[in-house]
Copies of this chain bind each other. A is one copy, B any other.
Amino acid sequence: MGDVMIPVLLADDETLIRTALATMLDLEPDLDVVAHVDSGEELLALWQQRVRSGEPVAVAVLDLQMTGLDGIDTAVRLLEQTPNAGVLIVTSHGRPGYLKRALSAGVRGFLPKTSSASTLASVIRTVHDGGRYVDPALAAEAISTGDSPLTAREADVLEFAIDGASIEEIARRAHLAVGTTRNYLSSAMTKLAVANRYEAALKARELGWI
């Protein structure tokens, strides 16, 4: 019996949600939530500890938006260490770009929080067995969105533009000249078909491109 149980590690900084999910998943006969923590850092520490002590490989269920290391950052580090670990990301915001980044990092499951509980449980099993599962709606959206047309610099300046900073401030943060910054912002705006840098930053974030 013990060897058919799937060990699950859960990371989410919202305690209420995390414990509720842990409680619910633990009710599944074949799932064993061995630990749940409130940050990516703690999950990584726990993972390493389990690897060192030779415990059976677990499925990591990560919330995408966490303070500190977010779900994708955590997944990247975890997968650097354990290349084919089963990692599953759960998120409130179905941004296409996030899905792409997660998949290219090697994440094998990606679900919105609007999924059902039974979906989550079955995806945990799928991921544990080496399979993949991506929410169909999110996948369709990611495909139809296409890849980011932004160059690295354009993405940089947009990232600094999102909090409403002036071009001067953006230039300082990006270590670019003011005029250069303007140009990058301008070309990003053209690509995104919007009229100013704020809309551009908003849209790029919406699409997960920054």
Contact = CB atoms under 8 A, between A and B. Distances in A.
Interface of A: 13-17, 19-21, 23-24, 27, 38, 90, 92, 111-117, 120, 163-166, 194-196, 198-202
A15 B114 contact: yes
A194 B166 CA distance: 11
Contact of A16 (B120, B163, B198): B120
Contacts of A200: 164
A201 B202 CA distance: 13
B163 A15 contact: no
A16 B23 contact: no
A92 B18 CA distance: 13
A163 B116 CA distance: 31
16 contacts: A15-B114, A15-B116, A16-B111, A16-B115, A17-B17, A17-B20, A19-B24, A20-B21, A20-B24, A23-B23, A23-B117, A24-B24, A163-B199, A164-B199, A165-B199, A166-B195
Nearest to A19: B117
Contacts of A27: 23
A13 B113 CA distance: 9
A15 to B, nearest CB: 5
A73 B163 CA distance: 28
Return the 4 tightest CB-CB contacts between A and B, nearest first. Answer: A164-B199, A164-B198, A20-B20, A14-B113
Nearest to A14: B113
A120 B23 CA distance: 14
Given A14-B92, A199-B163, A202-B163, A20 B194 contact: no
A164 B196 contact: yes
A126 B70 CA distance: 35
Nearest to A21: B20
A166 B23 contact: no
A117 B20 contact: yes
